[in-house]
Chain A
């Protein structure tokens, strides 16, 4: 009996701890979401109004240019820029990550460990430290304030990680899988797409989400290399809400929600692929 109660107490304590931690992590997010749906009057009220009295979509209408009072911030083009830059860079990073990861996992070649280490070391340099050199090179190349410029940077940022992650997943798949498929009549290419890729799908999905979120949320480099609606992304656009003496909290929060939502949706969509461990069973572990 005693051990049973002990177990129950442990369980409750566990829940409380989890709740507190989630509160710390989640509350600011929740506050941003709440703020996005509340009128300025309520947001700035003193003393604070904890429970919202009135929720509306006015703030969203405002930043997208509908409704009574409009803001001169081109959110739709920021949104489009963010989407184009993130999706393109993710797709490229995944393609290279898959090829690279597969090569590192399967092939023997000279200085393999050296290359791998070099890739990983490139991640130890903080992105912002590169901003000045990148700025100088990009200005020579005419890549400043272009989507292409940002895509190249994000691809470069993401490749080491996608290669590393996908390599790990391919490594888990015994090479006999592909050999069995080749004996069964597949070409190496078919064996990859029909056997190895489906088994590494969860890894590719995780790498994809990570790459997408990195590009989607990145601020520091984007803030220096983008200027106009040609290439400015959503996180950079957030700063448009700060003026010399005022900050439009309502608009900023509404835009923050717009930044958060696609990431959330994407995570939900690929969630089932994130459950790893698919390879267990086919091969005696």
Chain B
């Protein structure tokens, strides 16, 4: 059993505190993705779990044992680095077997485990090459192979796909997921790419400025972001966020963006806001669609008339860029047709799926 517990973990570099007391429990066999913009402390957190960085305060335990003072080799973990860090002077076979050799395993065990990993990762043909003779994707596979041969309790991945081209990245993404299903181990995966986080994680940990903003399943984080940061970070395109003020119009609370543009506050949020409150109104592009389009809107809808600035056809859908209340927003159109810039269209916004955030704190009013 290898659950990981971070308790009030703090990291300082000199006087600068970069991780401010984070708490996180990762279950056995769970695939957890730490995601956030660069400098948010996600890599530092991973390296602290690995033991490559000392922790300044708090406690880290792996499998129930506090490992604060354990060297990396004592933690029974393995790690895949962003630049792979394969040993250039060794063949693929030696790279894979290195950890076992250091652990003084008998030759036949090393051979067996290395071959087993080679089969899992489909690199049997590359065993006698050196890292220099491999392509990016192959190196990535070898790096993963080196991680799995030792059968560690925990896998740590530090942005392992960011050096690959887009196509290969998508492919390796599925492979890592498949690997997780095959070897069933706790995985902590760091990325700045929210798509990777969404597609791979059992649970996403969104980090910002050394704090954990939100922890949840990909859908939870996507559908119920706790603040504007998570709302704009998770999901592509990012959530549309428009500042406004709650006012009473026609006997109902509205979010007014200016003198004449406003949308009604969704019924589910009506009792969570008060007249005069400054808010940020948020909704996803998927929830703003041209009127009369094939996807029916569940629940209440609000109509908006907007001018399309730019249309990006993506095949199954078209992204429409419009201006609304002085903010650039995006809408989505399924069953696409060619849209000319400057075309005025009527849109329907799915009110039940919209969000309200407090303008001052950025926190979601859904609570």
Question: Which residues A230-260 have CB closer than 8 A to chain B?
Answer: none
Which residues on A sit within 8 Å (CB–CB) of B99? 184-185
Which residues on A sit within 8 Å (CB–CB) of B73? 182-187
- A180:B79 contact, CB within 8 angstroms: yes
Q: Is B72 an interface residue (CB 8 A)?
A: yes
Contact A177/B85 with A184-B99, A185-B73, A281-B130 known, Cβ cut-off 8 Å: yes
Contact A180/B89 with A185-B103, A187-B73 known, Cβ cut-off 8 Å: no
- B84:A282 contact, CB within 8 angstroms: yes
Which residues on A sit within 8 Å (CB–CB) of B50? 179, 183
| 0 or 1 for each of A190-216: is its CB under 8 Å from B? (1 = yes) | 100011001100000000000000000
Question: Which residues B50-107 have CB closer than 8 A to chain A?
Answer: 50-52, 71-73, 77-79, 81-89, 98-99, 102-103
Which residues on B sit within 8 Å (CB–CB) of A278? 88-89
Contact A180/B85 with A185-B103, A187-B73 known, Cβ cut-off 8 Å: yes
Looking at B102, B146, B150, the one whose CB has the most chain A CB atoms below 10 A away is B102
Which residues on B sit within 8 Å (CB–CB) of A195? 87
Which residues on A sit within 8 Å (CB–CB) of B146? 180, 184
Q: Is B136 an interface residue (CB 8 A)?
A: yes
Q: Is B139 an interface residue (CB 8 A)?
A: yes
Q: Is B266 an interface residue (CB 8 A)?
A: no
Contact A179/B87 with A184-B73, A184-B98 known, Cβ cut-off 8 Å: no
Q: How far is the CA of A181 from the CA of B102 in the complex (A)?
A: 9
In the complex, which of the residues A185, A187, A194, A280 contacts B88, with contact meaning CB atoms closer than 8 Å?
A: A280
Which residues on A sit within 8 Å (CB–CB) of B98? 181, 184, 194
Considering only CB atoms and an 8 Å cut-off, how many residues of chain A contact the other chain?
Answer: 24
- A182:B89 contact, CB within 8 angstroms: no
- A283:B84 contact, CB within 8 angstroms: yes
Which residues on A sit within 8 Å (CB–CB) of B84? 282-284
Q: How far is the CA of A161 from the CA of B89 in the complex (A)?
A: 26
- B131:A179 contact, CB within 8 angstroms: no
Q: Is B128 an interface residue (CB 8 A)?
A: no
Looking at A176, A198, A279, the one whose CB has the most chain B CB atoms below 10 A away is A176
Q: Is B163 an interface residue (CB 8 A)?
A: yes
Which residues on A sit within 8 Å (CB–CB) of B77? 183
Q: Is B170 an interface residue (CB 8 A)?
A: no
Q: Is B132 an interface residue (CB 8 A)?
A: yes
Which residues on B sit within 8 Å (CB–CB) of A198? 89
Q: Is B133 an interface residue (CB 8 A)?
A: yes
Report the minimal beta-carbon distance from B146 to chain A, rounded to whole angstroms.
7
Which single residue of chain B is at the shortest CB-CB distance from A177? B85
Contact A174/B102 with A182-B73, A187-B71 known, Cβ cut-off 8 Å: no
Report the minimal beta-carbon distance from A175 to chain B, rounded to whole angstroms.
9
Which single residue of chain B is at the shortest CB-CB distance from A179? B52
Q: How far is the CA of A18 from the CA of B130 in the complex (A)?
A: 36
In the complex, which of the residues B81, B103, B130 contacts A179, with contact meaning CB atoms closer than 8 Å?
A: B81
- A186:B102 contact, CB within 8 angstroms: yes
In the complex, which of the residues B78, B79, B132 contacts A280, with contact meaning CB atoms closer than 8 Å?
A: B132
Report the minimal beta-carbon distance from B117 to chain A, rounded to whole angstroms.
13
- B79:A183 contact, CB within 8 angstroms: yes
Where the two chains meet, the residues of B that have a C-beta atom closer than 8 Å to any C-beta of A are: 50-52, 71-73, 77-79, 81-89, 98-99, 102-103, 130-134, 136, 139, 146, 150, 163
Return the 3 tightest CB-CB contacts between A and B, nearest first. A281-B132, A282-B88, A184-B99
Q: Name 18 interchain pairs, CB-CB below 8 A, sorted by A.
A: A179-B52, A179-B81, A180-B79, A182-B72, A183-B72, A184-B78, A184-B99, A185-B102, A186-B73, A199-B89, A281-B88, A281-B132, A281-B134, A282-B84, A282-B88, A282-B131, A283-B83, A284-B83
